[in-house]
C-alpha cells in the first residue's frame, strides 16, 4: 500500500517546486546556448531530449509530445538546488541521476495527462478552481519571499536580530520588495519567473482534475475492511503463538489484537552516561564475563545518579503529581515527539530486562508507581497506566485508517496502470546522453520514478520505533 510510482509523481510533482528554501543554491548561468551550471552538459536549449515514436500519432501530436532540453533543465536544476545537491560532486552522482530521470518522467507524464485533460474537457478551470490556484500560488510565493528575509535585511542594512527598533510598516514594505527582488534574481538564474510558478500550480490543478475523474468510481466496502482486520488479527495471534518477539516486531498487530495480561506503562529513565552503559553492556556480552565485577562497576555508576533518581521518585509519587511533567524534567529518554506516550509491555519475559519485567508486573493496580529499578543503563521508575486492550473506539479509528490505505492503494494502482497504458500508446524515447542519464535495462517510468522516490525518501526519513516494548 506504500508503492509510489511515476503516475503519482506526475500528478503531484510540481509541489516540490513550491516550498521556499534559499539556503542551498547552485550558481546558474548560460554557456554557449545551454542552461547548464557546469560544463557537464552537451545539450543545447532547443535539443529534443524526449519524443513520442508511435506510428499512430500525427505530426502535430508528435510535436506536442516533444520535450526540449530548455524545458527539462530549469526544473531539474531548480529542484536539485533546493535539495542541496551539487550535480558536479561525485558523492551526489547517483542522486542527481535519479532526479534527472524523475524530472524527465514527470515532464513526459505531464504532457500525457494534460493532453488527456483536453480530450475529456477537463483542461479549463472554473472560477472557483482558479481562485484556489491563485490562493495556493500566492501563499507559495509568500513563503519563498520570506525565505529571503535575512538576506533582504542585510542588503538594506537592517538588523537581523530584531534589536534595531526601526520596525514599522514602511520598513516592512521595503523588506518585502527586497525579498521579491532577491527571489526573482534567484529563480532567473534557472531560467524561471513567477509566471512559471503559476503555470506549475495551474497544471497541477488540471492534472488533479484528471486524476479525480479517473478514480471517481473506486471504493472500499465495509466487508473488505472486515476481511482485512480479521486476517490481521489472525496473523497477530499466530505471531504471538510463535513468540512474543514476533508479535512485538509489527506495530500494526497491537491495533487489532493485544494478548491477555499486557499492560500500558509510562516510565522515567534516569540514565548513566551512555559511554559507561556501552562499556558495561560490552562487558556483559564478552565470553566468560565476570558478572560480579560488572555489577560492582554498574553500582558505582548508579551511585553517581542516585540523588537525581531519588528526587524524580519523590516528585513522581507526591500527591497530585503530574507523571508526564516529571518524565520531561528528569528522564534521559524524554522526547517531545513521544511526550505522554504509553508503552505496551507484554506479559512475556525476554522482551525487556528481567528487572523491568518483574517490576512492571509486581504493580497491583493501574496508577501504581514502582520504586527505583536498577538496570545496567540507569534507574527506571515505572507507572502502571492501564490494562492493555483494543477498545471499540480503537477499532473504529483503525477501520478509518484501513479504508483510506486500501483506497489510496487502489487509486495508485489504477492511476499507474492507466498512465503506463498512455505511455505505451505514444512510445516515448529519451536521449539519455543529452540528459546525462545512464540507460538501464529497465527504463519504464514506474521503475525509474520508484527508484528516485526511494532515494529521496532515504535522504529525509528515519526509522521510527514501534513503541511496543521498553528496553534498557
* pLDDT tens track for 114-151: 999 999 999 999 999 999 999 999 999 999 999 999 99
Sheet (strand 378-387) strand order: 343-345, 263-271, 378-387, 373-375
List, for residues 222-252, the tens digit of each pLDDT value.
Answer: 999 999 999 999 999 999 999 999 999 999 9
What is the number of alpha carbons within 13 Å of residue 20 lying toward its C-beta?
18
Domain 258-389 coded CATH 3.10.50.40 = yes
Q: State residue 235's pLDDT score.
A: 97
Residue boundaries of the structural domains of the chain: 6-218+404-460, 258-389
Q: Cβ(371)–Cβ(237) under 8 Å?
A: no
Q: What is the pLDDT of residue 84?
A: 86
Alpha-helical (H) ranges within 23-92 are 59-65, 69-82
Helix, strand, or coil (residue 166): coil
Q: At what angle do helices 169-188 and 127-146 cross, to 10 degrees?
A: 100
Query: In 10 A of CB 56, how many CB atoms?
Result: 9
Residue 449 has a pLDDT of 43
Residues of the chain with confidence (pLDDT) below 70: 1-39, 162-169, 441-472
* Residue 160: predicted pLDDT: 78
pLDDT at 88: 81
C-alpha cell at 214: 479517473
Amino acid at each position: 500500500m506504500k508503492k509510489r510510482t511515476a503516475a503519482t509523481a506526475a500528478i503531484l510533482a510540481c509541489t516540490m517546486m513550491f516550498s521556499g528554501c534559499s539556503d542551498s543554491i547552485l550558481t546558474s548561468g548560460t554557456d554557449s546556448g545551454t542552461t547548464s551550471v557546469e560544463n557537464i552538459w552537451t545539450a543545447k536549449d532547443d535539443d529534443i531530449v524526449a519524443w513520442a515514436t508511435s506510428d499512430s500519432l500525427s505530426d502535430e501530436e508528435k510535436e506536442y509530445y516533444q520535450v526540449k532540453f530548455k524545458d527539462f533543465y530549469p526544473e531539474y536544476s531548480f529542484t536539485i538546488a533546493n535539495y542541496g545537491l551539487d550535480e558536479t560532486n561525485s558523492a551526489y552522482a547517483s542522486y542527481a541521476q535519479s532526479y534527472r530521470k524523475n524530472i524527465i518522467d514527470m515532464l513526459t507524464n505531464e504532457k500525457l495527462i494534460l493532453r488527456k485533460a483536453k480530450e475529456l474537457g477537463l483542461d479549463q478551470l472554473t472560477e472557483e478552481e482558479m481562485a484556489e490556484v491563485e490562493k495556493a500560488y500566492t501563499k507559495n510565493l509568500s513563503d519563498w519571499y520570506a525565505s529571503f528575509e535575512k538576506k533582504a535585511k542585510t542588503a538594506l542594512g537592517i538588523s537581523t536580530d530584531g534589536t534595531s527598533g526601526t520596525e514599522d510598516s514602511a520598513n516592512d514594505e521595503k523588506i518585502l520588495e527586497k525579498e521579491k527582488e532577491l527571489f526573482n534574481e534567484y529563480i532567473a538564474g534557472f531560467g524561471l519567473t513567477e509566471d512559471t510558478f503559476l503555470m506549475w500550480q495551474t497544471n497541477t490543478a488540471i492534472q488533479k482534475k484528471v486524476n479525480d475523474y479517473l478514480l471517481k468510481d473506486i471504493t472500499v466496502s465495509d466487508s473488505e475492511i472486515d476481511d482485512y482486520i480479521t486476517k490481521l488479527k489472525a496473523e497477530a495471534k499466530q505471531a504471538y503463538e510463535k513468540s512474543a518477539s514476533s508479535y512485538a516486531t509489527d506495530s500494526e498487530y497491537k491495533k487489532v489484537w493485544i494478548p491477555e495480561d499486557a499492560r500500558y506503562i509510562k516510565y522515567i529513565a534516569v540514565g548513566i552516561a551512555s559511554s559507561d552503559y556501552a562499556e558495561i553492556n560490552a562487558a556483559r556480552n564478552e565470553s566468560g564475563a565476570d558478572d560480579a565485577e560488572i555489577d560492582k562497576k554498574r553500582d558505582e555508576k548508579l551511585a553517581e545518579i542516585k540523588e537525581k533518581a531519588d528526587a524524580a521518585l519523590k516528585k513522581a509519587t507526591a500527591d497530585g503529581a503530574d507523571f508526564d511533567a516529571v518524565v520531561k524534567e528528569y528522564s534521559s529518554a524524554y522526547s517531545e515527539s513521544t511526550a505522554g506516550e504509553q508503552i505496551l509491555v507484554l506479559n512475556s519475559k525476554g522482551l525487556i530486562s528481567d528487572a523491568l519485567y518483574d517490576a512492571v508486573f509486581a504493580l497491583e493496580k493501574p496508577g501504581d508507581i514502582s520504586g527505583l529499578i536498577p538496570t545496567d543503563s540507569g534507574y527506571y521508575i515505572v507507572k502502571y497506566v492501564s490494562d492493555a486492550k483494543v477498545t471499540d473506539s480503537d477499532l473504529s479509528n483503525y477501520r478509518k485508517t484501513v479504508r483510506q490505505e486500501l483506497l489510496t492503494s487502489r487509486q495508485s494502482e489504477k492511476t499507474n496502470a492507466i498512465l503506463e497504458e498512455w505511455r505505451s500508446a505514444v512510445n516515448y524515447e529519451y536521449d539519455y546522453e543529452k540528459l546525462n542519464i545512464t540507460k538501464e535495462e529497465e527504463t519504464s517510468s514506474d521503475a525509474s520514478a520508484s527508484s528516485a522516490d526511494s532515494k529521496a525518501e532515504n535522504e529525509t526519513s528515519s526509522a521510527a520505533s514501534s513503541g511496543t516494548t521498553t528496553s534498557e
